[in-house]
Amino acid sequence: MENSKIEILERDKIDKSYRWSIEDLYPSEEAFDSDFKKAKEYIQEIRDYQHKLKSKEIILECLKFRDKISRILDRLYTYSHMKFDEDSSLEQSQIMLSNSQWLLQSFEEATSFIEPELISLGKDFLDELILDSKFEDYNFEIKNLIRQMPHILSENEEKIVAKTSLLAFSPSHIYHHLTISDFEFPDAFDSSGKTYPLTQGTYSLYIHNQDRILRESAYKSLFGTYKKHQNTLASTLDMSFKFLNFYSTTRKYDSSIDYSLFSDNVSKKFYKELINIVKSNLKPLHSYIKLKSKILGLKKVRLFDLNVPLFDSERDISFEDSKDIVINSLSPLGKEYIDLVQRAFSERWIDVYENKNKVSGAYSTSCYDVHPYILLNYKGKLEDLFTMVHEIGHAIHSALANKSQPYTKSSYSIISAEIASITNEILLLEFLTRNTTDKTERNSLLNKFLENTRTTLYRQIQFAEFELKISELIDNFQSLTAQNLNTIYDELNKEYYGEFLETDEFSGVEWARIPHFYSPFYVYKYSTGFSCANYFAERILSEDTGSYINFLKSGGANFPLDLLKSAGVDLESLEPVKLTIKKFLEKLKEINSPPAKP
């Protein structure tokens, strides 16, 4: 557990070449203030359109003005949250971010009349707008509005529902305050008796450690605490799903899941078929768990054993070296894509290193009128390389979509976003695996794919099935309790991981640590993204790149499953999922085989 101490620098001590070019958004805070003032005035002006959306001319004028304001707000918010994330201790950055959030809320309120007024004009009139070439930039938005018409309430009912929004977030807020701010965990200890402070953050370090005593101690301390509070946590989850049921029934959906999947135009039938295809292919996962137990020298593994690396092959990779690896691994995507990657490096789209008070983790962010940005905390490890190529996937996706689509069709769904980032990870993994001659490193890379499949396909589908089961309880007027949640979750553990997993008194309460359950029916998107990324990567490595690039360029011009079909990927057929499971089996067989001779 000993690590060399890394000095964290003040931001101004980091070379400018490794800091993002935030000045491309605004060259100064005075320029930011000027746009802020302009947006504030525009928000007042757009209110003048209320009760006037009767003719095509006025409607088009209003929509264009709305988008003009929205583009300024996107730029303001992107700049302010980036300034805050650079150094969260600066009071001016805190104020700037808070003011931008307030302005966004004011804009949402000021423009809330637009959709109800358009709907009041009736389907026939809206169909005319779709066919009018002047409304080409808005045809998908209007089509989607027509879809929502059966679920739109009266004006007074909509106002009542809107007032419940803050209440609906209460279970999530309580959950996060309790588990992040209030929970205190007993220290963990290793095989030598040395103690380690346990937090939500350090837990992920300890369960990857080779010392099984440390892993078990951390596991029992963490989930022992969750179990002490399981009744309260069951109540917050119960209330969260009851709010979901309230919205689904109030808006006349058949079920909670129908309501949740509606925005992406995904059917309940597909969701259930996705679960079924994965559950009918659990044997490969069981074989992998058996391999884990064998390599770790255990008769059976427990939950705290699942994350420990099976092969220890770590090497340092400088940021400069990582750029060459990224470009070479993504070269099958073609010149247009690689040119954008090179621009990301040369034009300082990336904020590379950690500095004092910089936000942790990594992300990509963008607004329509300026190139995307990437935040990293690069430390030179292999995982940092994968994080960078993942975020580059998001950034280039945004760059291509923004260049190819009008503003109204540039924003893409989470399903599409996950495909763009994970495809890059798979291309990098394949590149590194092909180009290593070290058997341990090769096995480590193969194991990374197996772990990614376990955690992103199998585990997320386990979560998806858990959500389906508990939503059906709520829809059938039953309540969620610690007892029935623990039972459902542990039965799924046994089913998904098979005979080589040993459950225990804490394994059933793991549901209580999954924050995604407070954003219901979200996790399946990780599994579909991972599966489609594998499908695209196979085609890209076979020199079929054009359809994938066109998919990225399509942005949010249609629903995600329709965009995939246009790119030749029929997700509803579940072929991408089948291919991913097939690839999982191949890598599992390959992991103990010697590398092929060149």
Convert the pLDDT of each residue in 527-576 to its tens digit. 999 999 999 999 999 999 999 999 999 999 999 999 999 999 999 999 99
> Per the domain annotation, does 316 fall within a domain?
no
Quick: pLDDT tens for 446-500: 999 999 999 999 999 999 999 999 999 999 999 999 999 999 999 999 999 999 9
pLDDT at 6: 57
> Per the domain annotation, does 96 fall within a domain?
yes
At residue 4, does pLDDT exceed 70?
no
Tokens describing residue 474: 């709520």
At residue 329, does pLDDT exceed 80?
yes
Higher pLDDT residue, 265 or 202? 265
At residue 168, does pLDDT exceed 90?
no
- Which residue carries 């109800």 as its tokens? 116
Find the domain containing 76 and state its range: 13-167
Task: pLDDT band for 598, please (50, 70, 90 cuts).
Answer: very low
Quick: pLDDT tens for 550-564: 999 999 999 999 999
Query: Per mean pLDDT, which range of 168-172, 327-331, 575-579 is the poorest?
Result: 168-172
At residue 111, does pLDDT exceed 60?
yes
> Per the domain annotation, does 100 fall within a domain?
yes
pLDDT at 276: 98
> Per the domain annotation, does 598 fall within a domain?
no
> Per the domain annotation, does 486 fall within a domain?
no
> Per the domain annotation, does 110 fall within a domain?
yes
- Residue 372: phi and psi, rounded to 5, are -70, 165
Quick: pLDDT tens for 207-249: 999 999 999 999 999 999 999 999 999 999 999 999 999 999 9
**CA 406 – CA 555 distance, rounded (Å):** 10
Tokens describing residue 495: 């089913």
> Per the domain annotation, does 460 fall within a domain?
no
pLDDT at 592: 62
Tokens describing residue 555: 């942005």
Q: Which residues of 86-97 are buried (b: 16+ CB within 10 A; e: fewer)?
A: bbeeeeebeebb
At residue 1, does pLDDT exceed 80?
no
- The overall average pLDDT reported for the chain is 94
**CA 32 – CA 39 distance, rounded (Å):** 11
Tokens describing residue 265: 């135009």
CATH number for 64:
1.20.140.70
Q: Please state the pTM of the whole predicted model.
A: 0.92
Residues 6+ apart with CB under 8 A from 507: 302, 303, 489, 490, 493
How many domains, the chain? 1
> Per the domain annotation, does 379 fall within a domain?
no
Dihedral angle computed from the Cα positions of residues 82, 88, 92 and 93, in that order, rounded to the nearest 10 degrees: 20
Residues carrying an active site annotation:
391
Task: pLDDT band for 169, please (50, 70, 90 cuts).
Answer: confident
